[in-house]
Structure 1
Amino acid sequence: MTSTQDTSAAVAHFAGRLAFETDVADVHDDLAAGRRFTLVDVRPQEAWDQGHVPGAVHLPKGKIRLRAEQTLDRDVPVVTYCWGPGCNAATKAALELATLGYEVKEMIGGFEYWVREGFPYDTASGRVHPAPDPLSAPLHTH
């Protein structure tokens, strides 16, 4: 491969992505470490009831403008998530929150990859501890 890439442009690109994106492993580690942020599930009620990340706040995408002020602390960073890589509701929600003045990141991979990495999630009937998917997480780490 012949390279003519401007490395300063690459640095700016990837630093920009990391400034506004995080992944499920980092969110899991940040929650375990007690880092202060609000994790926001933007999926519909039915999806929330089916399962959600422990400690997340439910703020459906269509309700953000109406409920953000009553639900979120402006002094605490926000991380949004939706179903997974095929869903851009978390991106839309992050944009909406940013326009409202919140510091916000998107959790790439969404709920799908939270479950695939074997992290626990809550349902209406209790906590679920899924086995990690060997295609997305090493089996020996959980």
Structure 2
Amino acid sequence: MSTFIGDYECKVDEKGRVLFPSSLRKQVKSESPDRFVVKKDIYEECLVLYPIEEWEHQTAIIRRNTNPYNKEHNLFIREFFRGTAEVTLDSNGRLLLPKRLLEMVGIGRDIVMAGMNGKIEIWAKEKYESAQLGSSDFANLAERILGSTPLKDE
């Protein structure tokens, strides 16, 4: 599985193409390093880019935890997959992001691609900057989430 780190400012051209940062490309651990799935994030006004193997892992989690014959589960499945698209790097190392997804989250020309463990978030630059927690807010959140969890040796 790929682990992505780093924040990269990029430009989207008028056709919706963005040059995939070479630093992120080097972090792709995949048998199909040029294939991705992009969709709107569940919680934030951004897009999420998954390498194809991570996408398959995510869909396996959904299959294990849902029953398509349960109406509520079926609604979740439909919404989760709504607007997803498979995208591939072209010969120039660019991704063509669907305009409907860019419009859905208010992305214009300036974006940030942010590594988030096994996925990459794609944000409008101004939204990414405004979503940042202050240092004391982040410290409090870290303490709430990790402070009471016993550390385990790996």
TM range, normalised to the smaller chain? under 0.3
Larger radius of gyration: 2
Structure with more relative contact order (C-alpha pairs < 8 Å, separation 6 or more): 2
Structure having the higher helix fraction is 1
Report the TM-score when normalising by structure 2: 0.26
Structure having the higher strand fraction is 2
